[in-house]
């Protein structure tokens, strides 16, 4: 056999279910928990306690062996067998599944194909170790029944062929194509990262997107976000919960499973135990300066993403491909700026026509410098009329003349800077999670400490998320001038003002919007994830183009 690692039998089970799922989990090391996988772990809780044995697999002095670990260089597989029982007719191999069996054309309950092939792989392992089972069955916990499987040479040959196919797929540099309109996808834990119908459309395999019953849900989009800005706060861990102390008093407890993200402003202290627990549960910890500037992120190791990272490296040295991607991003941004002005402002028709003209010119830009010039002209035109989107007392109290930053010198610019900083954090975390390098961009120049790719991706969402949050906060009178601190160093939100900002932020992120290509509605939080995963496919070479997110 080659130097290729032994394939776990559970991954062979994935391959029989869907080669693309196998590639994600075995080659790319991408795994997403869902309700089914959690129930599956619970089903295996008892059989996962291994029996003790010394130098052989003799069952003569015992009734069963549990959780038996076996491997074979000849077969190229490794696995853990749930249970082997000593019966009157010989040794019986038993595997536990959380779900249910299926019915054949006669209505008789039979095991699922991927479960049968998994059993065959375990039987081959046992045969190689001199302990051939006489019979086998799968126990389906949902039905509380055993379904027998006939072990035949024909089945063993099918299993060997499957192992060969899986090993060849693992050596390939191309991810298998998605299943199309297949019911298996709706029960797959990897559905939210596989995006089968979306991937087929992006790759050109579909001219028209298939209908989706439910939009994809990115991993970890449920749960609460913990935001701390009290400098005396201390984050610790106690009995499976993240605790927050001020001085010696615990002021809140948060079950680790219910946390989605943690945001820390200023000198908040975090214990090593709390950080370890959040890393294990893939909970990002974002750090901001007291004024709200995004400083960095603590998160677990990124997913594999080797193909996408190599694609990023190639893209940065390919002016043609880099320009094509940057054009689409800036086209989408200018389109969304124009739409926001049309919806909420009173910009003159000539300004809207100029924005439309600049948007269309982006697709003909000859280089990045020309594209940056078009983007700068559009931004100047957009922000010159930004104030028309402020109504009533907001227009009177929060005068906006032009965009300024580093530091922001008025309340509106302070809000915009705060929002852009948070959006950069969100996309930096998503890039890191899917296996992209957030520091290798296409439009923004790579620079030390600058998440250039995250800044690229946020361009099309700046007006739709951040600018909309700012307009909503001020027009709804949710902020007053007293919620800002104005000094010679700039204008910044107070702690109370920042609380109001976060409420509006989450309200916007939970707002549903229609996807421009697929027609279904999803929250902006999900949309960010889908866009990053689309770019991930583009950089891997799975798709020929990238579609920026636009709205009407």
- Residues 414, 408 contacting (CB under 8 angstroms): yes
Query: Coil, helix or strand for 395?
Result: helix
d(CA 401, CA 421): 21
Please tell me the chain's helix, strand, coil percentages from 3-state DSSP, rounded to the nearest 5: 45, 20, 35
In a 10 Å sphere around its CB, with 0-12 CB exposed, 13-18 middle and 19+ buried, how is residue 304 labelled?
middle
Fold of 306-540: 1.20.120
CATH of domain 224-298: 3.100.10.20
DSSP state of 385: T
User: What sign has the CA pseudo-torsion 219, 29, 300, 71?
Assistant: positive
Tokens, residue 40 = 């599956």
d(CA 69, CA 77): 11
pLDDT tens for the 552 residues of the chain, in order: 456 788 999 999 999 988 988 888 888 777 654 434 333 444 444 444 544 444 455 545 556 788 888 888 999 999 988 888 877 777 888 888 877 888 877 788 888 888 889 999 999 998 888 888 888 888 888 888 888 888 899 999 999 999 999 999 988 877 888 888 787 887 777 787 788 888 888 877 777 676 666 677 666 566 677 888 777 888 888 877 888 888 888 888 888 877 878 888 888 888 888 888 888 887 888 888 776 777 777 877 666 567 777 777 887 788 888 899 999 999 999 999 999 998 888 888 898 999 999 999 999 999 999 999 999 999 989 988 888 888 877 777 777 777 877 788 888 888 898 899 889 888 988 888 778 888 888 888 766 667 888 899 999 999 999 999 999 988 888 888 888 888 777 788 888 888 888 889 888 988 888 888 887 888 888 898 889 888 888 888 788 888 889 887
Closest residue by Cα to residue 262 from 229, 290, 293, 238: 229
d(CA 171, CA 162): 14
Owner of token pair 């003159």: 348
Closest residue by Cα to residue 425 from 241, 296, 276: 296
Residue 204, Ramachandran bin (φ over 0: left; ψ between -120 and 50: alpha; else beta):
left
pLDDT value, residue 163: 92
Bridge partners of 226, per DSSP, are: 262
Bridge partners of 222, per DSSP, are: none
Would you list the DSSP string of 35-65?
HHHHHHHHHTTTTTSPPP--SS---TT-SEE
Where are the domains positioned within the chain? Answer: 7-173, 177-214, 224-298, 306-540
Which strands, in side-by-side order, build the sheet including 269-270?
Answer: 249-255, 241-246, 233-238, 269-270
d(CA 528, CA 530): 6
What's the CATH class of domain 7-173?
alpha beta
| Cis peptide bond N-terminal to 407, omega within 30 | yes
pLDDT value, residue 463: 93
- Alpha carbon 523 to chain centroid, angstroms: 14
Residue 263, Ramachandran bin (φ over 0: left; ψ between -120 and 50: alpha; else beta):
beta
Owner of token pair 């059993």: 119
Would you list the DSSP string of 265-317?
ESS-EE-HHHHHHHHHTT--EEEE-TT--EEEEE--PPP--HHHHHHHHHHHT
Q: Mark 307-324 as b/e (b = at least 16 C-beta within 10 Å).
A: bbbebbeebbeeeebbbb
């Amino acid at each position: 056999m080659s130097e290729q690692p032994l394939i776990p039998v559970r991954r062979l089970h994935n391959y029989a279910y869907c080669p693309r799922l196998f590639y994600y989990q075995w080659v790319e090391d991408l795994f997403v928990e869902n309700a089914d996988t959690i129930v599956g772990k619970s089903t295996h809780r008892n059989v996962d306690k291994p029996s003790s044995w010394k130098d052989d697999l003799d069952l003569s002095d015992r009734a069963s062996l549990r959780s038996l670990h076996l491997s074979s260089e000849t077969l190229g597989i490794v696995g853990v067998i749930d249970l082997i029982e000593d019966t009157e007719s010989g040794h019986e191999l038993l595997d536990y599944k959380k779900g249910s069996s299926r019915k054949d054309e006669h209505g008789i309950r039979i095991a699922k194909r991927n479960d049968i092939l998994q059993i065959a792989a375990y039987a081959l392992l046992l045969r190689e170790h001199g302990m051939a089972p006489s019979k086998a069955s799968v126990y389906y916990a949902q039905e509380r029944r055993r379904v027998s499987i006939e072990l035949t040479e024909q089945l063993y040959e099918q299993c060997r062929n499957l192992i060969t196919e899986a090993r060849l797929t693992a050596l390939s540099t191309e991810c298998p194509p998605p299943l199309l309109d297949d019911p298996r996808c709706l029960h797959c834990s990897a559905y939210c990262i596989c995006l089968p119908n979306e991937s087929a459309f992006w790759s050109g395999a579909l001219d028209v997107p298939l209908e989706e019953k439910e939009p994809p849900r990115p991993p970890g989009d449920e749960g609460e976000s913990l935001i701390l800005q009290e400098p005396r706060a201390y984050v610790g861990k106690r009995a499976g919960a993240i605790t927050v102390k001020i001085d010696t008093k615990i002021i809140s407890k948060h079950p680790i499973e219910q946390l989605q993200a943690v945001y820390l402003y200023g000198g908040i202290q975090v214990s090593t135990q709390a950080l370890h627990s959040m890393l294990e549960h893939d909970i990002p910890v974002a750090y901001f300066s007291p004024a709200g500037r995004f400083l960095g992120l603590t998160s677990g190791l990124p997913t594999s993403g080797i193909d996408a990272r190599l694609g990023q490296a190639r893209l940065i040295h390919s002016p043609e491909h880099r320009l094509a991607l940057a054009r689409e991003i800036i086209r989408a941004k200018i389109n969304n700026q124009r739409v926001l002005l049309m919806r909420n402002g009173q910009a003159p028709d000539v300004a809207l026509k100029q924005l439309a003209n600049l948007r269309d010119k982006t697709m003909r830009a000859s280089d990045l410098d020309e594209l940056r010039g078009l983007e700068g002209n559009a931004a100047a035109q957009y922000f010159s009329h930004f104030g028309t989107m402020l109504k009533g007392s907001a227009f009177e109290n929060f005068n906006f003349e032009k965009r300024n930053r580093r530091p922001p010198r008025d309340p509106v610019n302070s809000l915009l800077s705060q929002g852009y900083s948070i959006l950069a954090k969100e996309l930096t975390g998503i890039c890191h999670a899917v296996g992209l390098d957030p520091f290798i961009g296409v439009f923004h120049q790579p620079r030390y400490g600058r998440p250039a790719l995250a800044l690229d991706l946020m361009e099309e969402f700046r007006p739709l998320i951040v600018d909309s949050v700012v307009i909503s906060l001020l027009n709804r009178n949710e902020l007053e001038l007293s919620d800002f601190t104005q000094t010679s160093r700039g204008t910044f939100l107070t702690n109370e003002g920042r609380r109001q900002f976060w409420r509006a932020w989450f309200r916007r992120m939970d707002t549903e919007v229609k996807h421009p290509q697929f027609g279904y509605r999803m929250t902006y939080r999900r949309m960010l994830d889908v866009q990053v995963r689309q770019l991930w496919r583009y950089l891997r070479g799975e798709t020929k183009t990238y579609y920026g997110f636009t709205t009407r």
